[in-house]
Amino acid sequence: MTENSLDKEQQIVNHLVGTFQNLTGKVKRNRRIEVSIEKKQITSVLNYVKDHLGFIHFSHMSCVDWLEDGYFELVYILWSPEQKIQLLVKALVDRENASVENADMIWRQLNTYQREIREMFGVNFIGMKGDKEFILEDWDNMPPMRRDFNTVDYIQEVYFERPGREDAQNVRETISKRTGEEIPEVATKYSRD
């Protein structure tokens, strides 16, 4: 068997494309496949690849915030120990009132990941059980992993400035002072903070 042959991977992609409507997929590289599905297909695709294609191991789940496009992208990372192939299942979810079906009956571990994503991105998993709080305590702000969450504002509001940091210098000021450069008003709004 040749090392670089991607036949096995391509076969899985073809199989999935033939099985599910609106599923697109490609072989990313040796031992890595990526498929994109609609959000309503999540549980059926996950169940199918687990039961029929050997992707019995759930490795990880994450979420990407496509702020400009108005989507969250959920990524389920699965592994087939038998074929030694990694499968990434991706689904886009509207950013507004983001909600998606719970899938923790397929892998119990998913519960933990879904709880984290719920807390950090504000994606609602319909039918999921588990404490609302995951890591954050008494959080009443926007979910902090969303890209429009302003970390610096939050930090400034919540944490006090410790003593001993008063001697901090601004690079721009240090240099303009050294050279005697006078920065006009029209320019200062473009200076680095």
Residues of the shown chain interacting with another protein in the complex, contacts defined by CB under 8 A: 151-152, 155-156, 159, 162, 164-165, 167-172, 174-176, 178-181, 183-184, 186-188, 190-193
Minimum distance between the CB of residue 142 and another protein, rounded to whole angstroms? 15
Taking the least distance from each CB to another protein, the nearer of 22 and 150 is 150
Minimum distance between the CB of residue 191 and another protein, rounded to whole angstroms? 6
Distance, CA of 17 to CA of 26 (rounded, Å):
10
Taking the least distance from each CB to another protein, the nearer of 108 and 159 is 159
Minimum distance between the CB of residue 63 and another protein, rounded to whole angstroms? 17
Q: Which helix (H) or strand (E) holds 42?
A: helix 42-52
Distance, CA of 110 to CA of 46 (rounded, Å):
11
Taking the least distance from each CB to another protein, the nearer of 67 and 105 is 67
Where are the extended beta strands (E) located within 32-98? 32-37, 57-66, 71-80, 85-94
Minimum distance between the CB of residue 189 and another protein, rounded to whole angstroms? 8
CB atoms within 10 A of CB 154: 13
Taking the least distance from each CB to another protein, the nearer of 62 and 124 is 62
Distance, CA of 65 to CA of 69 (rounded, Å):
9
